[in-house]
Structure 1
Amino acid sequence: MTLRTGLVSGDRHLSNEQMDERVRGAAVGLSKLGVEPGATVALLLRNDFAFLEATLAAQRLGAYAVPINWHFKAEEVGYILEDSAAKVLVAHADLLADIAHAVPAEVTVLAVATPQDVLQAYRIAADKGAVPAGVEDWDAWILTHDPALAAAPRSSDSMIYTSGTTGRPKAVRRQPPTPEQAAKVVAMRTMVYGFEPGMRSAMSAPMYHSAPNSYSINAARQNGFLMLLPRFDPEVLLQTIEQEKLTHLFMVPTMFVRLTKLPAEVRARYDVSSMRFIIHAGAPCPPDVKEAMIDWFGPIIHEFYGGTESGPALYCTAEEWLAHRGTVGRVIDETTVQVITDDGRVAKTGETGEIFMRIHYYPDFTYHNQDEKRREIDRDGLITCGDVGYFDADGYLYICDRKRDMVIVGGVNIYPAEIEAALAAMPGVRDCAVFGIPDAEYGEALIALVQPLEAGTVTAEAVRAYLKTRIADYKVPRQIEFRAELPREDSGKIFKRVLREPYWRDAKRAV
């Protein structure tokens, strides 16, 4: 069987040559709209060809693509358009109706007809997907520009807005790389992502997130095969691996959990032997889940650790992880990572503290229009993403939790991620979230919100009994509640802030 190459989304296909031609045409068109080096092009798009076309065209001009979380309300979208000073907004047609009034008058809008696979995945009425009257159609617009007129390509990165615990999202605006920096970044990403020419991949995580964004953009440059899936479905992914003979994937731990929760007969139905390299990041992975994935797919499950600001500063192979269960990796070349204690010391082996890091050839960044926020996370040239962890004697890093998620119960520091990892492995549990709630005596108490596979199959008593065999008694949540669903982003990350808010609303304090 001859395998197709290029980009696929639903029943649509673009060859790599067609994709390159459309990107060059879009770059010519964006240049005519005033997009120049350092300018910004905003994207309000789900996973679709246009996302990659607009991003690659902007980067070709030395401009910044600014992907916007399409779940945002009009006011939030409007804030990002104004804050980023976007010249152009490229948006799916069905999303425009609700946010059009928030688009600044100086922003040129290009509408993308919402494709059928996206309409079906999100149960959107077919008539909502058409480009509205009076708005420029992205596909038709590209064809009006001669790709042969495209200037020599420049280099830039996406400008990703990161959401904090409070306030507005902040944009990570990275300086343009020197040729030497650009070459080293390409080599680093090739190693971490496992890229190789002709690789065959798929992306189901939302590309407005930092790691899926970087992976997809660079995977599209490998002259192989890339399928864009509108959202993650575990069995659909297995079908895609078998049918398209995929070789490479980026995933997040929630995807692993959902894959391993599939019935054994479903998992056995699909041939995944074509897979050669899976990289995961974005959240702590329960060790039992990762072991199950390695048992299933083989020792091809690799991991990196870093944030939007830092880049992937640490990396570990499946073999390294099996020898150092629970690690997120060792420091990559030309990178400094330090664990800093609360009293400002560099931590000793096994001692916990906040993690600071810097890839020395990675172009520096600031938070767009918020330089003071950039200074807040800096320590002697190293930056923190707010995580807490420690190094073992072999130089492998382990993450305890987010610094802001740490719960202090009667003066004892407790890291919910450890409890969540243990609970996620319990039979009958689909997912969980552990956090602190106000307690008059101890300051905070632990609560676990548990999403069972089936209602009524898991009890609070069973949860406590299970956890007591795996973690210290003082770490077992005092309060256990059950939820049919837990609020989460498309990436699978749980909105813990949303879960915490009702419990702290009347407490007159935040911790």
Structure 2
Amino acid sequence: MGALISGNRRLELTAMGERAARAATGLLSLGIGEGDLIALYLRNDFPFVEASTAASLLGVYATPVNWHYTPDEAAYLFENSGAKAIVIHADLIEPIRSALPPGVPVLVVPTPPEIAEAYGITPQPTPPGMLDWDTWLAGFEPYAGEPSTGGGTVIYTSGTTGRPKGVRRHPPTPEQVEAYVRVLMRGFGFVGYGDPQDVVTVVTGPMYHSAPNAYGLFAARAGGTAILQPRFDPEELLQLIETHKVTHLHMVPIMFHRLLKLPEDVKRKYDLSSLKFVVHAAAPCPPPIKREMIEWWGPVIEEYYGATEVGIVVSCNSEEWLAHPGTVGKPIPEAEVRIIDKEGRDVPQGEVGEVVSRNRFINDFTYHGDDQKRRD
């Protein structure tokens, strides 16, 4: 069984599970239950996984919030989501204090030293009069009920064209749960490369984004070891790979670009031979950048394409990409991908159209609080 690692801190997954079960009991004591929602205003830290896991036990939705938000943006999300509780790092309170909804419990996580160092801030304790996360957990027995199959993560997305919309999936059938797990486990490389409990990964991106969120939580739930990098730093990542013998990574192209800009002696300084599966997504990767990464790290670079609403729909490995530079791969067995014109007709090969996709075996979704936007 694996662990969560952050800086010099280590939390075994068995201990994390017990803390999450205590948090579930605590949420019940606040009147929070199946179908409700909590907001996570946190950087990558142990309580992020604990609170997400606690929510899943109860069928509660967890919503990670972009902690770069202005007070107006944060207030909108708290109100739109109907959050029944907010879990927040101590140093993030003051910038959005005016946005905290009256009467909603605020559970405060003291800012740990490695996060404070990464962002050049002074470690902050829990402010007087607010609930301290660790103290609060200690007051409850672990939840002993049957785990729910409902709930999940509500990710707010598409904010570039207006207010962001929360993607909330309908309660899944057991078959849909199985399909969802199968797609992500395969897409993230947690199957086909030995025992999932032997996976060692670094969560390189902020977990308020949908892909790092799903990736980090699935790594932990599969029993692997997840190192939570407070803030992406290219040389630090190479150090972590060598020190912890990292096997899996999830990245975005800008990280490749920053890695390739390192001096040659730094790039060659670290042993990266433990890497088995490095997947990237979220943005187009310039072919020269990807080719250089494959030449440096070997044919371990994978890619997928998808969206928060539909999940992973296509994928390709290094060999497929080298044979067709620029491709994002072929549809996975569970997905349907079409390119259509304005009338919804498939366009001939080589012509421009709109990409539409769906995952046939993953439960449908709505936009939280506004199902009409799902139909617009």
TM-score normalised by L of structure 1: 0.71
Match of 2:66 in 1: 69
Quick one: which amino acid aligns to residue 305 of structure 1? Y
1:273-293 per-residue CA deviation (whole Å, 9 max, x = no partner) reads: 000001110000011111111
Match of 2:146 in 1: 152
1:307-334 per-residue CA deviation (whole Å, 9 max, x = no partner) reads: 1111111111111111111111111113
Match of 2:170 in 1: 175
Match of 1:327 in 2: 327
Shift of 1:106: 2.8
Quick one: which amino acid aligns to residue 250 of structure 1? H
Question: What is the SS of the residue equivalent to 1:165?
Answer: helix
Quick one: which amino acid aligns to residue 276 of structure 2? R
The question of 1:122 aligning with 2:119 is answered: yes
Identity in percent: 50
Match of 1:134 in 2: 129
Shift of 1:343: 4.7
Question: What is the SS of the residue equivalent to 1:197?
Answer: helix
CA distance, structure 1, for counterparts of residue 34 and residue 110 of structure 2: 28
Match of 2:268 in 1: 268
CA contact (8 A) 2:2 2:220 kept: no
The question of 1:164 aligning with 2:159 is answered: yes
CA contact (8 A) 2:242 2:271 kept: yes
Match of 1:204 in 2: 204
Bigger Rg over Cα? 1
Partner of residue 105 from structure 1, selected from 102, 106, 117: 102
Match of 1:217 in 2: 217
Shift of 1:100: 2.1
The question of 1:79 aligning with 2:76 is answered: yes
CA distance, structure 2, for counterparts of residue 100 and residue 369 of structure 1: 24
Shift of 1:153: 1.1
Q: Point out where structure 2 has 5 or more consecutive residues left out of the alignment.
A: 191-195
Quick one: which amino acid aligns to residue 321 of structure 2? W
CA contact (8 A) 1:113 1:131 kept: yes
Quick one: which amino acid aligns to residue 7 of structure 2? G
1:225-264 per-residue CA deviation (whole Å, 9 max, x = no partner) reads: 1110111000000000000000000000000111111111
Match of 1:55 in 2: 52
Quick one: which amino acid aligns to residue 84 of structure 2? K
1:52-96 per-residue CA deviation (whole Å, 9 max, x = no partner) reads: 111111111111101110000112111111111111000000111
Question: What is the SS of the residue equivalent to 1:347?
Answer: coil
CA contact (8 A) 1:41 1:87 kept: yes
Shift of 1:219: 0.5
The question of 1:93 aligning with 2:90 is answered: yes
CA distance, structure 1, for counterparts of residue 366 and residue 357 of structure 2: 15
CA contact (8 A) 2:250 2:278 kept: yes
Quick one: which amino acid aligns to residue 338 of structure 2? Q
Quick one: which amino acid aligns to residue 229 of structure 2? L
CA distance, structure 1, for counterparts of residue 344 and residue 362 of structure 2: 25
Quick one: which amino acid aligns to residue 269 of structure 2? R
The more displaced of 208-217 and 156-165 is: 156-165
The more displaced of 85-94 and 312-321 is: 312-321
CA contact (8 A) 1:253 1:280 kept: yes
Q: 1 or 2 for the larger relative contact order (CA 8 Å, sep ≥6)? A: 2
Match of 1:375 in 2: 375
CA contact (8 A) 2:16 2:50 kept: yes
Quick one: which amino acid aligns to residue 279 of structure 1? V
Question: What is the SS of the residue equivalent to 1:219?
Answer: helix
Question: What is the SS of the residue equivalent to 1:362?
Answer: coil
Partner of residue 42 from structure 2, selected from 42, 45, 68: 45
Aligned length: 370
CA distance, structure 2, for counterparts of residue 249 and residue 166 of structure 1: 30
Question: What is the SS of the residue equivalent to 2:354?
Answer: strand
CA contact (8 A) 1:340 1:353 kept: yes
The question of 1:253 aligning with 2:291 is answered: no
CA contact (8 A) 1:367 1:373 kept: yes
Question: What is the SS of the residue equivalent to 1:306?
Answer: strand
CA distance, structure 2, for counterparts of residue 153 and residue 313 of structure 1: 29
Partner of residue 184 from structure 1, selected from 173, 176, 179: 179
Quick one: which amino acid aligns to residue 152 of structure 1? E
CA distance, structure 2, for counterparts of residue 347 and residue 283 of structure 1: 24
CA contact (8 A) 2:197 2:225 kept: no
Q: Point out where structure 1 has 5 or more consecutive residues left out of the alignment.
A: 377-511
1:22-46 per-residue CA deviation (whole Å, 9 max, x = no partner) reads: 1111111111112211100101000
CA distance, structure 2, for counterparts of residue 286 and residue 19 of structure 1: 39
CA distance, structure 2, for counterparts of residue 343 and residue 182 of structure 1: 34
CA contact (8 A) 1:315 1:330 kept: yes
Match of 2:193 in 1: none
CA contact (8 A) 2:41 2:88 kept: yes
Partner of residue 28 from structure 2, selected from 27, 31, 36: 31
CA distance, structure 2, for counterparts of residue 122 and residue 150 of structure 1: 38
Quick one: which amino acid aligns to residue 58 of structure 1? A
1:403-438 per-residue CA deviation (whole Å, 9 max, x = no partner) reads: xxxxxxxxxxxxxxxxxxxxxxxxxxxxxxxxxxxx
Partner of residue 8 from structure 2, selected from 1, 6, 11: 11
Question: Structure 1 segments of 4 or more deviating over 4 A?
Answer: none
What is the aligned-residue RMSD (CA, Å)?
A: 1.2
